[in-house]
């Protein structure tokens, strides 16, 4: 596949940037990265890649992005952590334009394989009310009651992929991501997810000498978190597979937010006083990935232990804080995200 054009939509973002880097390392020489952010603001940028600054909500932009492509990875969306998702439902819903127009363009130009990055936010909220959650199986998305806004967009776009496959023979593959984390991601500014936010808060407590941390919710809510390299391996394996229905792509290592803070404190060598903001966005009470299907169909599941990935993530954010001169409460330095 090294001579065939591969397009990564959302290539200026966290997961997309890592996917572009991986494709280059594997020897692919025809890679096109596309993102709505100006190229100088991309999380990772490579001069030997075709880098396009396009708004993929627009039909014409999607046609420019996909023309000549063999494989398209759609990782593009207006999204962030729970604070962003709960307060920007309309913006999250508008990402439906991205996937719809990309599918139309992929069909028009004869794309051979189309990957769509869905989310565990599609799952029925009634199955996620207990922190001691039963791990979610793929069929638990129906009857539908997903995360309002973001989850509905993802679930609708899954169906759109299905119908383009059934009606137009476009080969589509869909993975439901469970909380991806790692270096080269958002760690400040409002769109960061829990692992990066907790790492930054622990570093802030050290910088300011406050020895205190605020936790959103009561800290009992549970999640699983997937290391970025596991995510990339899963994306490629699912794209190349014959798995036609949406499938979980996540770690099954369940932890509470309090336990997540415990891990980061241990990495940093500190113990902080905790306060709990019960009015802050916290999402569902419990969510975990049932990996029965992916183990059956691929003989593999994401398996990087959270402590291992968190240590690497913490070190990267710590270095970014030093490099950028970031200080809590001050305006964000240029290039910080």
Q: Residues 81-138: pLDDT tens digits?
A: 888 999 999 999 999 999 999 999 999 999 999 999 999 999 999 999 999 999 999 9
For residue 2, the model assigns a pLDDT of 62
Q: Tell me if 52 sits within 8 A of 65, measured CB to CB.
A: yes
Task: Tell me which DSSP letter residue 189 carries.
Answer: S
Whether the pLDDT of residue 255 is over 60: the answer is yes
The string of pLDDT tens digits covering residues 280-296 is 999 999 999 999 999 99
For residue 333, the model assigns a pLDDT of 80
- List active site positions: 150
* 171-200: average pLDDT: 96
Give the dihedral sign, CA 231/232/237/238.
positive
| Rounded Cα distance, 183 and 310, in Å | 9
Q: What percent of the chain has pLDDT over 70?
A: 99
Share the mean pLDDT of the chain.
96
For residue 46, the model assigns a pLDDT of 97
Whether the pLDDT of residue 1 is over 60: the answer is no
For residue 132, the model assigns a pLDDT of 92
Phi first, then psi, for residue 73 (nearest 5°) are -105, 120
The string of pLDDT tens digits covering residues 142-185 is 999 999 999 999 999 999 999 999 999 999 999 999 999 999 99
Residue 337's pLDDT band (cuts 50, 70, 90): confident
């Amino acid at each position: 596949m090294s001579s065939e054009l591969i397009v990564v939509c959302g290539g200026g973002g966290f997961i997309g940037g890592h996917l572009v880097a991986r494709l280059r390392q594997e020897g692919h020489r025809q890679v096109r990265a596309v993102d709505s952010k100006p190229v100088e603001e991309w999380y990772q940028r490579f001069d030997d890649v075709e880098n396009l600054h396009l708004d993929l909500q627009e039909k014409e932009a999607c046609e420019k992005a996909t023309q000549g492509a063999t494989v398209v990875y759609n990782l593009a969306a207006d999204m962030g952590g729970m604070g962003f998702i709960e307060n920007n439902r309309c913006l999250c819903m508008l990402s439906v334009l991205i996937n719809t127009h990309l599918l139309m363009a992929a069909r028009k130009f004869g794309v051979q394989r189309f990957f769509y990055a869905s989310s565990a936010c599609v799952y029925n909220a009634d199955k996620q009310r207990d922190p001691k959650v039963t791990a979610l199986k793929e069929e638990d998305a129906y009857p539908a009651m997903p995360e309002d806004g973001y989850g509905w967009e993802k679930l609708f776009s899954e169906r759109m992929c299905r119908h383009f496959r059934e009606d137009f023979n476009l080969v589509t593959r869909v993975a439901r991501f469970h909380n991806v984390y790692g270096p080269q991601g958002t760690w400040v500014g409002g769109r960061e997810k829990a692992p990066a936010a907790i790492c930054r808060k622990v570093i802030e407590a050290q910088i300011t000498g406050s020895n205190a941390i605020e936790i959103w919710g009561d800290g009992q809510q549970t999640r699983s978190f997937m290391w970025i390299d596991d995510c990339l391996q899963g994306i490629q394996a699912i794209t190349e597979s014959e798995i036609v229905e949406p499938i979980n792509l996540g770690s099954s290592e369940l932890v509470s937010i309090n336990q997540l803070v415990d891990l980061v404190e241990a990495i940093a060598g500190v113990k902080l006083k905790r306060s709990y903001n019960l009015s802050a966005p916290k999402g569902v009470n419990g969510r975990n990935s049932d990996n029965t299907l992916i183990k059956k169909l691929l003989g593999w599941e994401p398996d990087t232990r959270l402590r291992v990935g968190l240590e690497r993530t913490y070190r990267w954010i710590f270095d970014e804080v030093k490099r950028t001169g970031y200080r809590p409460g001050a305006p964000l330095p240029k290039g910080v995200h």
